[in-house]
Amino acid sequence: MALANLTAINLMYGDYATALARSTQGVARLDEAAVSPEDTFRRTIERVHARALVANGRFEEAATRLEDLRARAARLDGEDSDEYAQVLGDQLNLHLRKRDAARAAPLLAELRTRMTQRGVADSHEQFGYFFAMEATLDRLRGDPATAERHQREALRRLQASASAVDVAIARATLAGDLAARGDRKEARKLLDDALPMMRETLLPGERNRIDAEALSSRL
């Protein structure tokens, strides 16, 4: 579990190679100890390992693991459980990273529905992230106007309660939408607000920071 926690930290800050090395080591220890596939801690650690696989571009391996984890979550915890929702979220992230809007869209819709059914209020921070994911889907579909609208809503919601770095990422992403339609002035302002926090908090290889630095250079 300590290795899984370190993996999550590495992923957050953008050290993807170290994250994968640590999560691989963690899963290997579980295998050596013959920990049951049904064990709660094992499933959490495997899910973190799948995230590390996605971050390192090993999509097919991650997809196989997540399908298995989803089946186990449905059988052991139920489809209305937090564990099942966590796996859905990881599958959604996988398909967004693969730029597969067709597979990502129904997962996002299901995740929204399940969160609502579990009594999570529309004002909850999680729905801010949902709007950001909707914006990603809009970009993949070639709909920049809707992407900008959804990204603005994501930023508005995340500013209320999300971490400073997540707000900075949302600002930088919106800056990309604005720059794409030629609004360099507002894009520059958003980046000027976002980049100091991203540079202080994220490693140079973190994918959101890479995108923001590239946009800054273009502007």
Structure confidence by residue, pLDDT tens digits, 2-59: 999 999 999 999 999 999 999 999 999 999 999 999 999 999 999 999 999 999 999 9
Average pLDDT, the chain: 95
Between the alpha carbon of residue 40 and those of residues 7, 23, 46, the distances in Å are 18, 16, 10
* CB atoms closer than 10 angstroms to residue 15: 20
95-145 confidence digits (pLDDT tens): 999 999 999 999 999 999 988 888 777 778 889 999 999 999 999 999 999
Q: Give the N- to C-terminal CA distance of the chain in Å, as an integer.
A: 43
> What long-range pairs does 69-73 form, CB within 8 A, spacing at least 24?
69/43, 72/37, 72/38, 72/43, 73/43
The C-alpha atoms of residue 138 and residue 117 are separated, in whole angstroms, by 25
